[in-house]
Chains A and B, each alone.
Chain A
Amino acid sequence: MSRVLDLLLPGARLLATLPVRGALTLAVWVALWTLAITRLDRVLDTLRGGAIDEWVALASLTGALLLVARAGRRSATGDPADDDAPGQWAMAWRVFRRHRTAMLGLALVGALALTALLTPYLAPFDPAEQGADIVATRFQSPSLQHPMGTDRFGRDVFSRVLYGGRVSLGIGGMAILIAITIGSLVGALAGYLRGWVDAASMRTVDLLLSFPRLVLLITIVALVEPSVLVITLVLGLTGWMGTSRLVRGEVLSLREREFVLAARALGFGTPRILLRHVLPNVATSIIVAATLGIGNTILVEASLSFLGLGVPPPAPSWGLMVAAGKDVMLDAPWIALFPGLAIVLTVVSFNLVGDGLRDALDPRTDRGVGVP
């Protein structure tokens, strides 16, 4: 009986004992099914042969449903007691999940990511679709049909915000991945090898940091035709310096620790020591830096777009939409307001998660156990 209930309505059994978790699980479950049923025509379209992003959306929808079902069942039956030796991640999670704002941030980030993945099913209109009669459909204030109104071309702002989120999150995520990879490698090599490698790379970092990033970006984008790929690469290639300094600093102290000497005494080579023993010990700082960096990268990307130097139109981008709306700010504030709110919400969510991660992962902060 309870198994059937878990299968049909995961989280329902939790309502009595863990009302918040139960209600949340149930709400996500119902929302996902509502989406699947109301957009059944589009789902069927996908199955008959859809574009790649529609397949991604379908896979995400299925995956999300499975995850929620599993989460509901796990919470109801109690977590299996497989943890007689919790690793640092398990322990960090215990701290993290007691951190309310961080959990809120995580929920928001999860919702944003899911929204971005499901955009083809969520968006009521094509983001580039202009109304049949531009004069009649443009500058419409928010209504049931257009929850965030329409812009000067009669395009649905809500759909454009959704598609813009894909662009912003995608660029932000990929760029930070590039930046973190370069920064970690440069920092680890500089800190571990010291000598001229250290001097050369850190002076390069000093040099690059002495340019204001936005000016540097504007210069590069002026030389190279901007596209999503170019913007991602450029943001990644100009964003690694801070990480490399952070990693170098930590590696400088790690290399003096005895386990590094012990690793050398076992005959391990430098690449193995760096990749298996030094970098994993810096992983927590790198993850925190990456999470906080995503917010910043999204902001920079929005600034570039706002200046007209980002992703080229008609691709929907939050920064571009704010720029387009600023001229009609007084008459049609919704055009700039909603993408602006989206930027703020995204950046705040990532920063909340980043702060929570820092508290959970940094051994120097109090873990919330023992005496205050």
Chain B
Amino acid sequence: MTAGPILRVRDLRVHFPAPGGQTARAVDGVSFDLSAGETLALVGESGCGKSMTALSLVRLVAEPPAVTLAGSSIRLRGEELVGAPARRLREVRGAEIGFVFQEPMTSLDPVHRVGRQVEEAIRAHETVSRAEATGRTLALLERVGLPDPARAARAYPHQLSGGMRQRALIAIAIACGPSILLADEPTTALDVTVQAQILDLLSSLQREENLAVLLISHDLAVVSSVADRVAVMYGGRIVEIGPTASVLTAPRHPYGEGLLGAVPTMYDDRALKMIPGRVPAATDWPSGCRFHPRCPYAWDRCRRDEPRLADGVRCWLAEEPGRRGETTGFAEVST
């Protein structure tokens, strides 16, 4: 592999005007790299900016009203996408960066047959004959594991099950051979057994194509099974980033710790813990560390100064680890 990541995101900031003259800082200084063949997972609660980050990578957030602030940088193989002409962005979408969405029920157009939708994706980016597009469509549908590709191609979306629809959507996403796949909660709406199959499909496609995958999920079990690295997002920012094994077993940021504590487990009788309160609105993030109102370890410094992302974690505890022992951490859920 040649040097460097395929996608290099630096200080991405996407803001919206909100009612009352306020500004919603939905994505507020996100930086990460994504390399071929790796899976980076973005985790966090709803409202912390995960999906917005993915959408703004290919400018799918309507601008205006949204604004990608100057100083943001998204480089695809060295090419700057922030400020690139809309026409170039349309080429990138689908052909170089594929998208898999959460809702297989509604992400396919209900009035067209599935095969036609795959063909349309191919023909939007490549000049191929109808016959060739049809042939490639059948091959793609077979590749994503649909048992009877010809029949699936003839079917309308409502005639397929959720899992089959998600497979069809993946076929559309990879139709033009993108090098990056953005998967926004690809398994959340599916049955658990189907989830495993779809995850398996995604990882085998990733291996064969050497795809870079950005997986957005709040399901830590899913993340732990497929991601190489994990970025925990809170308040429009990445608060912790690192290899899956370390972030999900020994989180250094209290928010990551809180998320893990809130996952019920089947085998040990560890008590469920909860993070108090909820994600504040993107219009008024708290001063200092954005997590401090909900953090059991917070002290004056957290309320006053915002920590920087250093060595993969954005928390003052990294500098003063002794303070962790001073409180008991997150409260257990009383049963």
Interface residues of A in 183-220 (CB under 8 A from B): none
CA distance A87 to B109 in the complex (A): 13
B302 in the interface, Cβ–Cβ < 8 Å? no
Q: A88-B156, A266-B172 given as contacts; is B101 within 8 A of A280 (CB)?
A: no
B16 in the interface, Cβ–Cβ < 8 Å? no
Q: Which of B34-42, B92-100, B254-262 contacts A (4 or more CB under 8 A)?
A: B92-100
Specify the chain B residue showing the minimal Cβ separation from A278: B109
CA distance A73 to B151 in the complex (A): 29
Complex contact B107–A258 (CB within 8 A): yes
A269 in the interface, Cβ–Cβ < 8 Å? yes
Interface centre among A87, A264, A265 (most CB of B within 10 A): A265
Chain A 275-308 per-residue mask, 1 if CB under 8 angstroms from chain B, else 0 = 0110011010000000000000000000000000
Which residues of B sit under 8 angstroms from A258, Cβ to Cβ? 101-103, 106-107
A100 in the interface, Cβ–Cβ < 8 Å? no
What is the distance, in angstroms, from A222's C-beta to the closest C-beta of chain B? 44
Which residues of B sit under 8 angstroms from A85, Cβ to Cβ? 113, 151, 154-156, 159
A257 in the interface, Cβ–Cβ < 8 Å? yes
CA distance A96 to B192 in the complex (A): 39
Interface residues on A, range: 20 to 34
Which residues of A sit under 8 angstroms from B98, Cβ to Cβ? 265
Complex contact A262–B99 (CB within 8 A): yes
CA distance A88 to B101 in the complex (A): 25
Specify the chain B residue showing the minimal Cβ separation from A282: B111
B121 in the interface, Cβ–Cβ < 8 Å? yes
Which residues of A sit under 8 angstroms from B58, Cβ to Cβ? 265
Complex contact B90–A269 (CB within 8 A): yes
CA distance A87 to B115 in the complex (A): 13
Interface residues of B in 81-122 (CB under 8 A from A): 89-95, 98-99, 101-103, 106-113, 120-121
B124 in the interface, Cβ–Cβ < 8 Å? yes
Q: A85-B159, A258-B103, A258-B106 given as contacts; is B60 within 8 A of A264 (CB)?
A: yes
B125 in the interface, Cβ–Cβ < 8 Å? yes
What is the distance, in angstroms, from A84's C-beta to the closest C-beta of chain B? 7
CA distance A372 to B121 in the complex (A): 41
Specify the chain A residue showing the minimal Cβ separation from B156: A87
B169 in the interface, Cβ–Cβ < 8 Å? yes
Which residues of B sit under 8 angstroms from A269, Cβ to Cβ? 90
Complex contact B107–A281 (CB within 8 A): no
Complex contact B156–A262 (CB within 8 A): no
CA distance A304 to B80 in the complex (A): 63
CA distance A264 to B62 in the complex (A): 11
Of A262, A263, A267, A280, which one neighbours B91 at CB under 8 angstroms? A267
> Total A-B residue pairs with C-beta atoms closer than 8 Å?
75
What is the distance, in angstroms, from B61's C-beta to the closest C-beta of chain A? 10
Interface residues on B, range: 20 to 34
Complex contact B111–A280 (CB within 8 A): yes
Which residues of A sit under 8 angstroms from B120, Cβ to Cβ? 266, 268, 276
What is the distance, in angstroms, from B117's C-beta to the closest C-beta of chain A? 9
Specify the chain B residue showing the minimal Cβ separation from A268: B124
Interface residues of A in 96-153 (CB under 8 A from B): none
Of A265, A272, A281, which one neighbours B111 at CB under 8 angstroms? A281
Complex contact A261–B101 (CB within 8 A): yes
Of B90, B94, B110, B151, which one neighbours A281 at CB under 8 angstroms? B110
Of A87, A88, A262, which one neighbours B107 at CB under 8 angstroms? A262
Complex contact A267–B60 (CB within 8 A): no
Complex contact B94–A265 (CB within 8 A): yes
A93 in the interface, Cβ–Cβ < 8 Å? no
Complex contact A267–B93 (CB within 8 A): yes
A33 in the interface, Cβ–Cβ < 8 Å? no
CA distance A267 to B98 in the complex (A): 10
Of B110, B124, B125, B169, which one neighbours A262 at CB under 8 angstroms? B169
What is the distance, in angstroms, from B116's C-beta to the closest C-beta of chain A? 10
Complex contact A259–B106 (CB within 8 A): yes
Specify the chain A residue showing the minimal Cβ separation from B99: A265
Which residues of B sit under 8 angstroms from A257, Cβ to Cβ? 106
Complex contact B156–A266 (CB within 8 A): no
CA distance A293 to B91 in the complex (A): 42
Chain B 154-165 per-residue mask, 1 if CB under 8 angstroms from chain A, else 0 = 111001000000
CA distance A85 to B159 in the complex (A): 8
What is the distance, in angstroms, from B194's C-beta to the closest C-beta of chain A? 18
Complex contact A265–B121 (CB within 8 A): no
What is the distance, in angstroms, from A33's C-beta to the closest C-beta of chain B? 40
Complex contact A264–B109 (CB within 8 A): no
What is the distance, in angstroms, from A192's C-beta to the closest C-beta of chain B? 11
Complex contact B101–A262 (CB within 8 A): yes
Complex contact A88–B125 (CB within 8 A): no
Interface residues of B in 142-185 (CB under 8 A from A): 151, 154-156, 159, 169, 172
Complex contact B99–A272 (CB within 8 A): no
Complex contact B94–A266 (CB within 8 A): yes
CA distance A281 to B89 in the complex (A): 26
Complex contact B107–A267 (CB within 8 A): no
CA distance A258 to B60 in the complex (A): 12
What is the distance, in angstroms, from B238's C-beta to the closest C-beta of chain A? 23
Which residues of A sit under 8 angstroms from B101, Cβ to Cβ? 258, 261-262, 265
- Enumerate 13 A-B pairs (CB-CB under 8 Å) in ascending A order: A88-B156, A258-B102, A258-B107, A261-B107, A262-B101, A262-B107, A264-B60, A265-B60, A267-B93, A267-B94, A269-B90, A276-B120, A277-B112
Q: Enumerate the 9 nearest inter-chain pairs by beta-carbon distance, A residue then B residue, closest first.
A: A267-B93, A265-B99, A266-B94, A267-B94, A267-B90, A258-B106, A258-B107, A280-B111, A262-B107
